[in-house]
Structure 1
Amino acid sequence: MITKQALGSTLFGMADILRDKVEDYKAYILSLLFFKRLSDNYEWETENEIKEFVKREGRQPTEAEKRIIVAQKHDFKIPEGCFWKDVRDASPDKKNEKLNKAVNEIADANVDRQGKAVLKGVINTVRWNEPAPDGSGSKKLSPQVLTSLVSYLDAVDLSNKNASVDVLGDAYEYLIKRFADENKGGTTAGQFYTPQEVVDVIVRYLKPQKNTTVYDPTCGSGGFLINAAKYCKTNYNNSKAVRLFGQEDVWNTWAIANINMILHGLDARIEKGDTILDPKFVEEDNELEIKQFDLAMANFPFSQENWTKTGKPKKDSKGKTKNKKDGSPQLEYPKDGFTDPYGRLVYGQPPYSNGDFAFLQHIVASIKDNGKAGVVCPQGVLFRGQPEKTEEEDGQNRKADDEYLIRRGFLQGKIDHNGEFTEMHNIIDAIVVLPSNLFYGTTIPGAILFINKNKPAARKDKVLMVYAAKEGWYREEANMNVLLPHDILRISTILESWGDLEIAKTWIDSQKTRLKTLIQEDLDFKLLEIKEYYAEDIEIKKEKLAKAKKVITDREAANKKPTKGQEKAVVTAQTALDKLTIEKENKINAAHKQAEKERQAIDDVEQELITMLQDPEQRKRYFNIADMEELEENEFNLNIPRYVDTFEPEEEIDLKIAITEFKNIIGKETELDKSINELLNVLN
Structure 2
Amino acid sequence: MTDDQKKKLEQKLWSIANELRGKMNADEFRDYCLGFIFYKYLSERLCDFADKILHNDDPSLNYATLDEQDEAVQEMLDALQEDALEELGYFLKPSELFSNLAQRGAHKDTDSEDKDADIVVDRFILGDLQEVLNNIERSTMGTESEDDFDHLFEELDLNSSKLGRDPDARNVLIAKIMLHLDSIDFAIHDSESDVLGDAYEYLIGQFAAGAGKKAGEFYTPQAVSTVLAKLVTHRKSRLKSVYDPTCGSGSLLLRVAKEVGKDNIGHFYGQEMNRTTFNLARMNMILHGVHYRDFDLKQDDTLENPQHIDERFDAIVANPPFSAQWSAKKIFESDDRFAQYGKLAPGSKADFAFVQHMLYQLDDNGTLAVVLPHGVLFRGAAEGHIRRYLIEERNWLDAVIGLPANIFFGTGIATCILVFKKCRENPDNILFIDASAYYEKGKKQNYLKSEQIEDIIAAYDNRLEIDKYAHVAPMVEIAENDYNLNIPRYVDTFEEEAPIDLAAVTQELKQLDNDMAELDKTIQGFCNELGIEAPL
Tell me the TM-score range normalised by the shorter chain.
0.7 to 0.9
Match of 2:176 in 1: 148
Deviation at 1:445, TM superposition (A): 1.9
TM-score (norm 1): 0.66
Partner of 1:293: 313
* Deviation readout 1:336-393 (Å, 9 max, x if unpaired): 56446454343221111111111110011110122210000011000001xxxxxxxx
CA RMSD of aligned residues (A): 3.2
Distance 2:417 2:188 in 1: 38
Q: 1:43 to 1:652 in 2, by over 3 A?
A: farther
Aligned-pair CA distance for 1:87: 3.2
What letter corresponds to residue 130 of structure 1 in structure 2?
N
Match of 2:217 in 1: 191
Q: Decide whether aligned partners of structure 1 residues 630 and 223 sit closer, same or farther in structure 2, where only a CA change above 3 A counts.
A: same
- Seen in structure 2, the aligned counterparts of structure 1 residues 140 and 93 have a Cα distance that, compared at 3 Å, is closer
Q: Which residue number in structure 2 is paired with residue 402 of structure 1? A: 382
What residue is the counterpart of 1:51 in the other structure? 55
Quickly say closer, same or farther: Cα 1:119–1:627, change in 2 above 3 A.
same
Q: 2:158 aligns with which of 129, 136, 150?
A: 129
Question: CA separation in 2, counterparts of 1:203 and 1:106?
Answer: 33
2:134 is the counterpart of 1:95: no
Given that residues 364 and 422 in structure 2 are in contact (C-alpha distance below 8 angstroms), is that contact kept between their aligned partners in structure 1? yes
- Residues 66 and 272 (structure 1), Cα distance of their counterparts in 2 relative to 1, 3 Å cut: closer
Per the alignment, in what secondary structure is the counterpart of residue 324 of structure 2?
coil
Q: Verify the 8 A CA contact 2:242 2:265 in the aligned structure 1.
A: no
Aligned residue type for 1:95: I
Q: Which amino acid aligns with 1:157?
A: D
CA apart distance, 1:103: 0.8
User: 1:430/1:141 Cα in 2 relative to 1: closer, same or farther (>3 Å)?
Assistant: farther
Instruction: Give the superposition deviation at 1:402.
Output: 1.1
**Aligned partner (choices 408, 411, 414) of residue 442 of structure 1:** 411
1:607-618 to structure 2, matched below 5 A, reads 613=466
Indicate yes or no: 2:490 matched with 1:643: yes
CA drift of 1:129 comes to 2.9
Quote the offset at 1:11 in angstroms.
Answer: 0.7
Matches of 1:426 and 1:361, distance apart in 2? 14
Residue in 1 that maps onto 2:439: 474
Aligned partner (choices 338, 342, 346) of residue 340 of structure 2: 346
Alignment check: 8 A CA contact 2:337 2:356 kept:
no
How many angstroms does 1:481 deviate by? 2.1
Q: Give the structure 2 partner of residue 396 of structure 1.
A: none
SS in structure 1 of the partner of residue 146 of structure 2: coil
From 469, 473, 490, give the equivalent of 2:455. 490
Partner amino acid for 1:174? Y
Give the residue type in structure 2 aligned to 1:449.
L
2:427 aligned with 1:460, yes or no? yes
Q: Quote the offset at 1:653 in angstroms.
A: 6.1
Q: Which residue of 1 aligns with 2:114?
A: none
Question: Counterpart in 2 of 1:368?
Answer: 363
2 CA distance for matches of 1:360 and 1:8? Answer: 36
CA distance in 2, matches of 1:678, 1:48: 101
* In 1, Cα distance between equivalents of 2:417 and 2:522: 63
State the Cα distance separating 1:442 from its structure 2 match: 1.8
Q: Give the secondary structure class of the aligned counterpart of 1:212.
A: strand
Contact 1:95 1:143 in 2 (8 A): yes
Instruction: Write the distance in 2 (CA, Å) between the matches of 1:246 and 1:278.
Output: 13
Change (3 A) 1:211 1:641: closer
Alpha-carbon offset, residue 164 of structure 1: 6.9
Q: Structure 1 unaligned segments of length 5 or more: list them.
A: 284-290, 311-333, 386-400, 414-424, 501-612, 614-618
Match of 2:323 in 1: 303
State the partner residue of 1:314.
Answer: none
Aligned length, in residue pairs: 492
Give yes or no for contact 1:377–1:449 (8 Å, CA) kept in 2.
yes
Q: CA separation in 2, counterparts of 1:140 and 1:363?
A: 50
Structure 2 match to 1:382:
377
Query: Retained in 2: the 8 A contact 1:92–1:144?
Result: no
Provide the secondary structure at the position in 2 that maps to 1:375.
Answer: strand
* 8 Å CA contact retained: 2:403, 2:417: yes
Name the SS for the 1:21 alignment partner. Answer: coil
Structure 1: distance between partners of 2:190 and 2:232 = 34
Distance in 1 between residues matched to 2:352 and 2:246, nearest whole Å: 14
The equivalent residue for 1:120 is 150
- Paired residue type of 1:344: F
Q: Per-residue displacement from partner, 1:307-364 (whole Å, max 9, x unpaired)?
A: 12x8xxxxxxxxxxxxxxxxxxxxxxx7x56446454343221111111111110011
| Residues 140-539 of structure 1 mapped to structure 2, 5 A cutoff | 142-158=170-186, 160-161=188-189, 166-183=194-211, 186-207=212-233, 208-233=236-261, 239-267=263-291, 268-283=295-310, 291-305=311-325, 307-308=326-327, 338-339=332-333, 341-347=335-341, 348-385=343-380, 401-413=381-393, 425-456=394-425, 459-470=426-437, 473-499=438-464
Summarize the Cα distance change of 1:438–1:474 in structure 2 as closer, same or farther, 3 Å threshold: same
The amino acid that maps onto 1:116 is E
Alpha-carbon separation, structure 1, partners of 2:504 and 2:78: 88
Inter-CA distance 137–467: structure 2 relative to 1 (3 Å threshold):
closer
8 Å CA contact 2:237, 2:264 repeated in 1: no
**Correspondence 1:104 to 2:99:** no
The CA deviation at 1:484 is 2.2
Distance 1:667 1:262 in 2: 80
CA distance in 1: counterparts of 2:101 and 2:401, whole angstroms: 50
Give CA-to-partner distance per residue, 1:160-216, whole Å, 9 cap, x none.
247975111111111111111223xx2211111111111222222222431431111
Query: What is aligned with 1:393?
Result: none
- Stretch deviating more after TM superposition (113-122 or 239-248): 113-122
Shift of 1:488: 1.7
Q: 1:654 to 1:200 in 2, by over 3 A?
A: farther
Q: Distance in 2 between matches of 1:84 and 1:276?
A: 40
Q: Quote the residue 2:534 is aligned against.
A: none
SS at match of 1:460: coil
Query: TM-score normalised to the size of structure 2?
Result: 0.83
Matches of 1:209 and 1:446, distance apart in 2 = 28
Tell me how far apart the structure 2 counterparts of residues 488 and 658 of structure 1 sit (CA, whole Å): 44
Is the alpha carbon distance of 1:439 and 1:133 closer, same or farther for their aligned partners in structure 2, counting shifts above 3 Å? closer
